[in-house]
Amino acid sequence: MAPRSLLLIILVVFCSKITAFQCNNKNKFSYPNLFPAILIFGDSTVDTGNNNYIPTVFKGNHPPYGDDFPGQVPTGRFSNGKLVPDFLASMFCLKETIPPFLTPNLPDKELLTGVSFASAGSGIDELTTAVSKVIPVSRQTEYLKEYIHRLTRIVGKKQAQKIVSEALVIISAGTNDFIFNFYDVPTRRLQFSVYEYQDYLQSKLTKFIKELYDLGCRRMVVSGLPPIGCLPIQLTLKLSILRKCVPMENLDSLSYNTKLVKLLPRIQQTLPGSKLFYADSYNRLLDMIKYPRKYGFVETSKGCCGTGTVEAGPLCNHLTPVCGNASEFIFWDSIHPGESVYRYLTEQLVKDLLPYFKPKAV
């Protein structure tokens, strides 16, 4: 038997044992054999630690980040615990967490079931990353090419193509573009109206989706914008004394999302064999903020870290006190939701995804 064939058999057996183990856990949401892998692109909402390995101050690899992660380890996730990609991996019985692609000496078995290429602080607009030096969304395809090359070396070209084509692809980006380029640092506002900037971003997003398609991706989930005007940092910067959401910024998010919902089917028509799914983070997060007690939350306008009004990234550190019970706070820091929110959003996303992606019974 050829060495490569033997290696492939060993890997398949090993991965099947992993799948069986994960599907026997206590998570009541388990959907095995739906996707062979998960591939993640975007910003801090889905970056599981890539920024740890690039020269930028946008890092979450220090306490108190990771306070509720297994082992209380600060992994680079901008949260007290797991993110949506991690919960998806567990629900689809692939593994407990999604590793960042830039992890040195990443084991082959991790590549088989998926990685994150996302970078905290990233955006669809390359200008968003000009100062922070994080990885723009447009450059994350270069890492996908490297991933495919490594995957091909492990399982061969045909199997690598199969994994990529059947993988669940998540794209979550756009919030930083508006915060860093339009609202708080009005660089693009000198060039575009808000509606023109929405169109500009979505034209670049269209190009990105087509690049993923050309590299073999077929099953893609594209997240809309959250209610940006409700992020604690925006309440602070807009001097909202009563800590109420900024209406115009929320309307802009809603307008962007409305356009995106119409855009994705048009893109899909041009990409034979593709499936593009819109993920609604706006309405679900806004409902939590409006009716927190329905979800078990108490605080909606401040993060758990420090004062909760400005702390994020390097400002949320081991010297910063944290709240007593993070599960009562919608936000972990002044920008990012906590693990409890991500868990709920993932469960709702999976419920929406199943009818769309689940194979029809023969």
- Nearest partner of 345 among 172, 208, 101, judged by Cα: 172
Measure the CA angle with vertex 78, ends 76 and 84; round to 5°: 100
Which H or E run includes 151?
helix 140-155
Distance from C-alpha of 245 to C-alpha of 237, rounded to nearest angstrom: 12
Distance from C-alpha of 117 to C-alpha of 218, rounded to nearest angstrom: 17
3-state DSSP helix/strand/coil % of the chain, to nearest 5: 50, 10, 40
Dihedrals phi, psi of 143, to nearest 5 degrees: -70, -30
- Nearest partner of 118 among 81, 71, 78, 150, judged by Cα: 78
Strand order in the sheet with 168-172: 114-116, 38-42, 168-172, 219-223, 275-279
9 - beta bridge partners? none
Q: Which residues are catalytic?
A: 44, 333, 336
